[in-house]
Structure 1
Amino acid sequence: MLKYRILLLNDARHIWKDPMLMAALLGPIAVIAFARFVFVPLSGWLEGQFAFSLLPYTDFAAVFLLLTIPLLPGTMAGLLMLDERDEHLIGYYAATPLTRGGYLAYRLFMPSLLSALLSAAFILLSDLAVIGPGAMHAFLLLAIEAPCFSLFLAAYAGNKVEGLALSKLSGLLFAGPAVAAFVPEPWQYAGAWIPSYWPAKVYFLGANDEPVLSSALPVAGLLFHLFLLWLLIRAFLKRID
């Protein structure tokens, strides 16, 4: 445990000194606060000013906001990995008792843990999320998406500047819930290659009181995410070899 404690303390120092990393850590708390305290008053204001209410789109808003949570700790971990790769620290860790496998396990576990805790907080505290099997399965998939995004940055960005540029591509992930919510079946399955489609789809199933556990969609979504994680691990290991 000591070897992981040293990494954790080193991460804490980096995050404390870097406002961008700090924002990525605190951002999910702001998302939860917005969902709980701002969404309903904002809907009332829009209805009064423009005769448009957000309340019929509560489920979509819940998924949209929930999807931002794994992206932030995923980005934070990915940028830390880029720093360590640029400074050749990963090779150093591989020669210590931590080993390369231990380093990778830590780097995958931390964003996943943060994503799981913050996603659970959103589901329980936001007053927007419908708690049920759909939300719980979406929670599981989002916990896998955080390390996937970390590995994507660490494997394909040449440096931290490129990593910041690639992190902007996370906006494409918000197409997933839009496809799941507004594109009719079977056409929406063309969007199944977007990782965020799957947690959105299973969440909407649960929110609409449709069967979740007896559906093949949760299993398909889980297999897709695990396959994506495996591909990104291979790409990252190839990059650092």
Structure 2
Amino acid sequence: MAKYRMLLINDLRHILKDPMLMASLLGPMAIIAFARVLFPMISEWVEQRYTFTLSTYTDFAVIFLLTIVPLLPGTMAGLLMLDERDENIIAYYAITPLARKGYLCYRLFLPSVLSILFIVLFFLLSGIAKVQVESGYALILLALEAPCIALLLASFAANKVEGLALSKVNGLLIAGPIIVAFVPEPWQVLGMWVPTFWPAKCYMAAILNEPFSALSSFSMGLVLHIFLLTWMIRSFVKRID
């Protein structure tokens, strides 16, 4: 555990020095605060001023905000991996007791754990999330998205500047919950290749008390996420060889 503790200490030092990394770490807490404090206030203001009931879309707001949560620790981990790749630090880790496998496990495990922590806090503290047993399916899939995002940046960005640009493209992943919430059922098949589609589908099925639909969505989403994670791990390993 000592070898992982040193990595964690180095990460904290980097995060404290880099505002972008700090924002990625603290961003989920800002999302929770927005859901808890600002969303009810905005809903009330919109209803009074425009007679539009924004609270009708609370379930969509929940899964939309939840989708953003793993983007942030995933981006943080990806930018750290880019720095370490550019400075050949990964090659150094490969000849230490940590080894390349241990380094990669740590880099993928950390954003997943952070995502789980922040998502659980969102469910407990946001005040707008509905918690069902099947909500755990959405949590698992969202946690798997964080290492996928990290590997996307580390594998396909040439440097940190490109990594920042690519992290903005990740914002397109919000299409998943939009498709689930607003696209009619026969056409939702078009969104099945968007990773965030499946946790959104699981959450919506859970709150509608459709356990079989939630389980089937989780199963298909799990296959897609494992495929993406495996492919990106291979791409990253090839990149650093």
Q: Same fold (TM over 0.5)?
A: yes
Q: Which runs of 5+ in 1 are unaligned?
A: none
- In 1, Cα distance between equivalents of 2:182 and 2:3: 48
Shift of 1:214: 7.1
1:91 match: 91
- In 2, Cα distance between equivalents of 1:27 and 1:230: 27
1:124 match: 124
TM-score, L = length of structure 2: 0.98
1:230 match: 230
2:110 match: 110
2:167 match: 167
- In 2, Cα distance between equivalents of 1:140 and 1:161: 30
2:69 match: 69
- In 1, Cα distance between equivalents of 2:64 and 2:205: 15
Question: Does residue 185 of structure 2 align to residue 218 of structure 1?
Answer: no
- In 2, Cα distance between equivalents of 1:158 and 1:234: 17
Aligned residues: 241
* Equivalent AA in structure 2 for residue 98 of structure 1: L
Q: Write out the 4+ residue segments of structure 1 that deviate beyond 6 Å after TM superposition.
A: none
Shift of 1:50: 1.5
1:26 match: 26
Shift of 1:61: 0.1
- Sort the Cα spacing of 1:21 and 1:131 in 2 relative to 1 into closer, same or farther, 3 A: same
Percent identity for Structure 1 against Structure 2: 60
CA RMSD of aligned residues (A): 1.1
- In 2, Cα distance between equivalents of 1:232 and 1:51: 47
8 Å CA contact retained: 1:74, 1:146: yes
Question: Does residue 181 of structure 2 align to residue 145 of structure 1?
Answer: no
* Match runs of 1:35-46 below 5 Å: 35-46=35-46
The 10-residue stretch of structure 1 (129-138 or 139-148) with the greater mean CA deviation from structure 2: 129-138
Please give the per-residue CA displacement for 1:200-238, whole angstroms capped at 9, x wherever unaligned.
001000111222477422111111111111011011111
Q: Which runs of 5+ in 2 are unaligned?
A: none
2:59 match: 59
8 Å CA contact retained: 1:135, 1:206: yes
1:3 match: 3
- In 2, Cα distance between equivalents of 1:20 and 1:214: 35
8 Å CA contact retained: 1:71, 1:149: yes
* Equivalent AA in structure 1 for residue 223 of structure 2: L
* Equivalent AA in structure 1 for residue 226 of structure 2: L
* Equivalent AA in structure 2 for residue 127 of structure 1: G
* Equivalent AA in structure 2 for residue 2 of structure 1: A
8 Å CA contact retained: 1:82, 1:160: yes
Please give the per-residue CA displacement for 1:43-87, whole angstroms capped at 9, x wherever unaligned.
000111112121100000000011111000000000000000000
**Matched residue SS, 1:133:** coil
Shift of 1:134: 3.3
Please give the per-residue CA displacement for 1:131-152, whole angstroms capped at 9, x wherever unaligned.
0133211001011000000000
Shift of 1:164: 0.1
